[in-house]
Amino acid sequence: IGTGTGVQAIKAVLAGAEHVDAVDIYKPAVECAEYNIKRKGLRDIISVFESDLFSNVPRNKYDLIIANLPIVDCSEEDVKRHSLFDPGFQYHKRLFEEAHEYLAEGGRIVLCHADLQGKKDFDKLERLAETNGFSYEVSNSANSIGHEWRMYTFRREK
């Protein structure tokens, strides 16, 4: 989710994924991903969808959802800027609310988040996940450009 150039989808296949559904809300990003996937000869393995999260995605059960969501909770009307801004944290809320229908048993969500607006950003994300029945672990953390960046793994609680 949030495939952008398609690099994460391509990397997933190179790491052994048998099939990847790549999604982005922004049509030029979808076109860019399709171009890169075609150049790599992976069109039979990677399908690309223009979709607002799960709204236009096949009703499959996924072992892994890689979410490349915007980090900054800020109003923005222009959809092309939604790669940076998540007005009202709506994408994060919907991800956790809707993911149950798309995750296979034992499936997980992986996403990166940063404290660009302060440590409260991590608290908000973690509370949102727990409220929607997900446990989490921070699988990696790094400090760069004056902020902490965390890689989260979320799992559905039974």
Q: Give residues with Cβ within 8 angstroms of 140, minimum separation 6.
A: 150, 151
- What is the C-alpha separation between 2 and 50, in angstroms, rounded? 10
Least confident of 3-17, 23-37, 82-96, 127-141: 82-96
Q: Which of 76-80, 124-128, 140-144 has the lowest mean pLDDT?
A: 76-80
Structure tokens at 118: 């302060």
pLDDT in tens, 131-154: 999 999 999 999 998 989 999 999
Which whole-number Å values give the CA distances from 3 to 6, 14, 44, 57, in the listed order?
5, 15, 17, 13
Indicate if the pLDDT at residue 34 is higher than 70: yes
Question: 83 vs 30, 38, 86, 122, CA distance in Å?
Answer: 13, 23, 8, 19
pLDDT given at position 87: 76
Q: 73: pLDDT confidence band, cut at 50, 70 and 90?
A: low
